[in-house]
Homo-oligomer: A and B are copies of this chain.
Amino acid sequence: MEKSDVAAKYFSPRVSDRERAAFEAGIAIGMAIHQFSGIPIRFEEEARLLEKVIEYAILSQPFKSEARVRISIDIPKDYNPYKYSTLRSRNMDISVVVRYGKAYVKARLRYVPELDYSLAYIEDIGEVDEKEAK
């Protein structure tokens, strides 16, 4: 358990640090998809700044220790008022690391062509000591 965590008492005592970290990682990805999908994008610079904003937004919430966001989106070259892109989950590749107590989780959101789905999944999970010992 994380000593400094004033909210720990609200959680079931059966929740392990790894389970808590997995929960927090899920929140981060649910937030990122549903907060940012729908943004109109016509400028490359906009996409680059938005990557940083999403990273900061993830890191603003509890126990997120690392975030990396890449946006891949086609931006029309020719100007037409009605031709621009709209950010969707399939345009986002998000990696987030949560650390809670002794545990860490590395989670990912990316479009998986085989599933035709933007899949949120856990790439790695374990104890921090173990990871730092690598």
Contacts and interface: CB of A to CB of B under 8 A. Distances in A.
Contacts of A46: 52-53, 56-57, 60
Contact of A60 (B16, B40, B121): B40
Interface string A28-42: 111111110111111
Interface in A30-89: 30-35, 37-43, 45-46, 49-50, 52-53, 56-57, 59-63, 80-84, 86, 89
Contacts of A26: 22-30
Interface in A77-134: 80-84, 86, 89, 105, 107, 112, 115, 117, 119-126
What interface size band does chain A fall in? 35 or more
Interface of A: 4-7, 10-12, 14-16, 18-20, 22-35, 37-43, 45-46, 49-50, 52-53, 56-57, 59-63, 80-84, 86, 89, 105, 107, 112, 115, 117, 119-126
14 contacts: A7-B112, A10-B112, A20-B22, A24-B26, A25-B26, A27-B27, A28-B30, A30-B34, A31-B31, A38-B38, A40-B60, A42-B56, A42-B59, A46-B60
